[in-house]
A and B are shown apart, each in its own frame.
Chain A
Amino acid sequence: MTAGPTVPPRAAGDAEGVDLAAGLPDGSGLETDPRTLDPTQRHDGLPADAVVLGSDWGSSRKRRTTGMGPRLGPVGWLRWAWRQLTSMRTALVLLFLLAVAAIPGSVLPQRGTDPLAVNAWLADNAGLGPTLDRFGFFEVFTAPWFSAIYILLFISLIGCVLPRIGAHWRAMRQPTPPAPRRLTRLAGASTWQTDDPSVLATATATLLGQRWRVTPGPDGEGPTGSMAAEKGFARETGNLLFHIALVLILIGVALGALFGWKGTVIVREGSGFSDTLTQYDSFAPGRLADAEDLPPFSFTLTDFEATFEREGSQRGAPRSFSATLDYTGEPGASRQTKVVSVNEPLTLDGAKVFLVGHGYAPHLRLRDSTGTVVFDDTVVFLPQDGSFTSTGVLKAPDATPQLGITAIFAPTAVVDQHLGPHSVFPAPDNPGLFASAFTGDLGLDTGMPSNVFELDTAGLEQVGLEGLVPGQTWQLPDGAGSLEFVAVERWASFTISHDPGKGLALAGAVLAIVGLMLSLFVKRRRIWVRVDEVPARPAPAAPAADAPTSAEVPAPTAASPTSAEVPASPDGAPTSAGTPASPDGAPTPENPRAGTDAARPHGGSVPPWRASGGAATVYRVQVGGLSRTESADVIGEVQQLVARLGGPVTEEQS
């Protein structure tokens, strides 16, 4: 391995979780992607942390530096591009890009939520506004560049998750690698001697009882042999589940956007609404939604109540809204009553009706110069401030002459020298209407659409100004007619929406949380137990028959971290390039110290009375573990098992 002595000592944080220099039988569980088995990448110590989506960043970097680019064909380039896209580094960049791209959507007004504010902003910023508008900064969340980022992110995610599903499936079916010869360098390792022949069976039963997946060793049944136990596959399962759930959420959102629809409507007290396109004040259908086939419900707003805080610093804050609806699910069906409030929508077959706003609708009665009643209804006034100072317009094109009224309505009216007539409290404590009457051509006969909330006073003649209280009638000057302020009524606005994707989105959200918790909290760890018969006289090495063959043990790939980390190891024999440490810890020509007992804390030489006797067989028990993810704390588990098996529990490890 080229990494050896030339690589400076790494900060300890890079080798978290696992130190494979301990002569472990395999590193396969760590990196299921063979491309990452490059020793220099291994030195980067990519852990099998379940949060990782793609861990092949290292390999792509490797590819680049080895200068394979020019010789790639089109397919090669495609593979290269795909690898780049599905790499973790790209996913990280896309995550941050998405976060940054969302910021203007929260700072600038958005057409989707507040189109009036967008127009106001554009009017105030004539210089910058059009440019920003051209690049979609007022519809950030539907802008092509925003969509491009999250679509790329999801492609990257899918490209990362799909191969990992297969890898995880294979890893779950693969047996845990068998125990190495010596377990002393594993986490929490303990070694002791006993004459109890059932230790291995007890260990197996104990771990099975704790829901470990136990793989018996290759040496068969009996008091001696080994076993490997593994736990925590749910971590990667949860990780994959989480990412799949994100895709589900995206599909749910897309379904809603394509097949859902949403409309808003203002309904005055006493008037009704039936669910057809023409009755909506605004309607936003999904791209594939059938707006001609809306659910055939209808309702009447029979009453609207609002209460407001009257005392203290929060005076004027709303305290309750309730709209009483008299509704029917389809024509001819029986009518029912439902009180809709802010958190209690009316749920109908195929749609939900939400109370989203309210305001005042003064009942006005207008007579023209001939004394004919040309208007007698409630008029929607739009609130302009928190105290519901509201403005409204009444147009009477049928009057002789044509009459137009613009008015300010104040539920609790005060006339101020600077502010003019305005309201100081949102409840109708002292309602007042301040009307201005115009005569002339209202321009409604041209057929051009006009805003019902605005009166174009150009070309009109103002005939007078007057303040009215309910019940009061204003005789317009010059016998132009009269305006009667009959009563104060209210209106409520409703959002009616249909979202066929929300169930899927919710399911995805629930699965995402479940997956997330599994992937963050499940700990992956392995425990090995090995029981050997203590030979009558000390032998230099274990019998060759016990040693796992190379076929059973994948070639170790991870021997370098420690040798690189401790360039000047005590015996001055760092593992060098191309000579992997012996997988089973047995002495090999390249690694002569592996078989010695220098590191063994317990046991060692056999007591003479044992060696000479032959009355009872003496077994040497070794237990050790491996944390396969950060903070998996396998030592506690190992020590628990050691205690259960009657082994020595040392002070420090307890």
Chain B
Amino acid sequence: MSLAQWSNLFVYAAMAMYALAFISFAVSFAASRTATAEGATSDADLGVEPVEVLSGATGVAAGTAARTADGPGDPLPSAASPADAAARARAEARARSAQLEAEMAAEARRVGRRGRTDRSGAAQALPPGRRASNIAMSLTWLACALLLAGLVTRGLWAGRAPWGNMYEYSLASALAITGVFLGVSLRRDVRWLGLLVTMASLITLGVAVLLLYNDSPQLVPALHSYWLVIHVSAAIISGGAFTVGAAATVLYLIADRADRRADARFSRAIAERIPDAVTLDTLAYRVNAFVFPLWTFAVIAGAIWAEDAWGRYWGWDPKETWAFITWLIYAGYLHARATAGWRGRKAAVIALIGFASFLINFFGVNLFVSGLHSYAGV
């Protein structure tokens, strides 16, 4: 069997693992309902100190929740008007966030001190859906490893960086999406993001295998450059992070809607299973803030390469134009997020528009517009 066939085998195996991971995440998602009011009270009491009010956005939520729970009497009058109902919904959301904060802190401790895990972990019953999400995380790691193997064998077979055409680029993008997700998961509990991430990876792989398969190890002359490694890998990692950031942003918008509207039943059903809006917004921001300099670098590296290949560093080729548009929109997102009146929902919508323009740049420009980048073998 040739290396190319091994590569295909690994990719199919990875797809199977992604599918299983997706199902497990879905099971976990369906089973997990965070936060009941009494749970929030107790957790907030033992967990989060009001001191953390100063620690940043998440701290504010946790602190507020703690204050709500601690306060003498009920600080919020019983719900009589819609405004009160909304306020109550927000308070509940904060209480939920406090519990999750406490859980995440506990999780961080467990990760930090393995020895304690075994003692306390055995005694403690797993929250609903936790087992399924543990399985899903393991499957995701396995899928990621298989996809990496597929990409490495593909690269060995071709004797070059394995992202020389749209098929390989898509494989690498799926790997980047999962890789960014798993990287984040090492530092915090983001299992709730797994459903969207595995779905995105699976769709990317499906498109790659069904529509973009390419059996040639050779490259067009324009790609014979070490910039292929630099520019394209930066773009691929950016794409992975953009996707993870967009997934977190979508969930943020759902959680935010659930906080604002008591009658948004679908949003509330989802919001019960994910962290509070502030946590989601912060995570989305961190991912997008990480990716923006990388994307800037990818664009600049592309410009340097273009100067070598075509005699100009910027020529408004459709790919360049859409890379520029994507950059502008994410720059707008970063500014909006720091501007009064634009923060929160509006900024999140901008981030999603930015992601859409990234997708247009990735798929649309290659498939529908002819330009200097239309060599990638579609």
Contacts and interface: CB of A to CB of B under 8 A. Distances in A.
Interface of A: 8-9, 11-19, 22, 41, 44-47, 49, 51-53, 55, 57-58, 88-89, 91-92, 95-96, 98-99, 102-103, 105-107, 110, 112-113, 140-141, 184-189, 253, 262, 309, 311-314, 317-321, 341-345, 352, 354, 356, 495-497, 499, 502, 505-506, 509-510, 512-513, 516-517, 520-521, 562, 565-566, 568, 570, 599, 601, 625-627, 630-635, 652-654
Given A92-B342, A262-B312, A103 B325 contact: yes
A314 B54 contact: no
A441 B213 CA distance: 55
B311 interface: yes
A642 to B, nearest CB: 13
A8 B222 CA distance: 60
19 contacts: A12-B64, A18-B54, A45-B340, A52-B338, A92-B336, A99-B357, A106-B325, A262-B311, A313-B216, A318-B220, A343-B224, A506-B304, A516-B296, A566-B67, A630-B57, A631-B286, A633-B56, A634-B55, A635-B55
A221 B279 CA distance: 43
B335 interface: yes
A314 B215 contact: yes
Contacts of A185: 51, 53-54
A19 B90 contact: no
Contacts of B206: none
B362 interface: no
A105 B316 contact: yes
**Most A Cβ at <10 Å: residue of B71, B218, B315:** B218
Contacts of A13: 57, 60, 277-278, 281, 343-344
A568 B75 contact: yes
Contacts of B224: 320, 341-343
B115 interface: no
B328 A95 contact: yes
Given A106-B322, A189-B51, A630-B285, A17 B56 contact: yes
Contacts of B278: 11-13, 16
**Most A Cβ at <10 Å: residue of B56, B277, B278, B290:** B56
A312 B216 contact: yes
Given A89-B339, A320-B224, A513-B296, A16 B57 contact: yes
Given A92-B336, A513-B297, A188 B51 contact: yes
Contacts of B183: none
B322 A520 contact: no
Contacts of A91: 335
B105 to A, nearest CB: 7
Interface residues of B, number: 91
A601 B51 CA distance: 10
A483 B67 CA distance: 97
A626 to B, nearest CB: 6
B57 A17 contact: yes
A113 B343 contact: no
Contact of B311 (A12, A52, A495): A495
Q: Give the dominant DSSP class at A's interface.
A: mixed
A161 to B, nearest CB: 13
Contact of A317 (B53, B59, B218, B343): B218
8 residue pairs, one from A and one from B, having the closest CB atoms: A16-B57, A187-B54, A354-B311, A314-B216, A44-B340, A52-B338, A106-B321, A495-B311
Interface string B81-92: 001000100100
Contacts of B332: 92, 95-96, 99
Given A13-B277, A314-B214, A317-B216, A630 B221 contact: no
B61 A12 contact: yes
B310 interface: yes
B355 to A, nearest CB: 13
A359 B340 CA distance: 58
Interface string B333-371: 011111111111000000000000100000001000101
A343 B90 CA distance: 58
Q: Give the dominant DSSP class at B's interface.
A: helix
Nearest to B350: A96
A343 B225 contact: yes
Contacts of A625: 54
A566 B342 CA distance: 23
Interface of B: 47-57, 59-61, 64, 67, 71-72, 75, 83, 87, 90, 94, 105, 109, 213-216, 218-222, 224-225, 227, 259, 277-278, 281-282, 285-286, 289-290, 292-293, 296-297, 300, 303-305, 307-318, 321-322, 324-325, 328-329, 331-332, 334-344, 357, 365, 369, 371, 375, 377
Given A16-B60, A51-B335, A495-B310, A317 B321 contact: no
Contacts of A521: 289
Nearest to A50: B338
Given A96-B329, A513-B297, A187 B59 contact: yes
A347 to B, nearest CB: 10
A126 B51 CA distance: 70
Contacts of A262: 311-312
A630 B61 contact: no
A87 to B, nearest CB: 9
Contacts of B375: 317
Contact of A516 (B277, B292, B310, B344): B292
A51 B331 CA distance: 9
B335 A92 contact: yes
A365 to B, nearest CB: 33
Given A188-B55, A318-B221, A635-B52, A141 B339 contact: no
A57 B343 CA distance: 13
A14 B343 contact: yes
Contacts of B334: 51, 520
Contacts of A345: 308, 311
A92 B216 contact: no
Given A96-B329, A320-B221, A631-B282, A313 B214 contact: yes
Contacts of B313: 499, 502, 505-506
Nearest to A567: B75
A631 B56 contact: yes
Contacts of B59: 187
Given A11-B344, A57-B340, A652-B105, A565 B64 contact: yes
A637 B213 CA distance: 50
A632 B296 CA distance: 23
Contacts of B305: 343
B232 to A, nearest CB: 14
Contact of B300 (A15, A49, A112, A513): A513
Nearest to A103: B325
Contact of B51 (A141, A187, A341): A187
A318 B332 CA distance: 40
Nearest to A317: B220
A22 B293 contact: no
B311 A497 contact: yes
**Most A Cβ at <10 Å: residue of B55, B312, B365:** B55
A653 B55 CA distance: 11
A341 B310 CA distance: 11
Contacts of A570: 71-72
Given A15-B60, A49-B338, A513-B293, A343 B308 contact: yes
A106 B365 contact: yes
Contact of A512 (B83, B296, B324, B339): B296
A45 to B, nearest CB: 7
Contacts of B317: 113
Given A51-B289, A497-B311, 6 more contacts: A12-B61, A253-B314, A314-B218, A343-B227, A516-B296, A566-B64
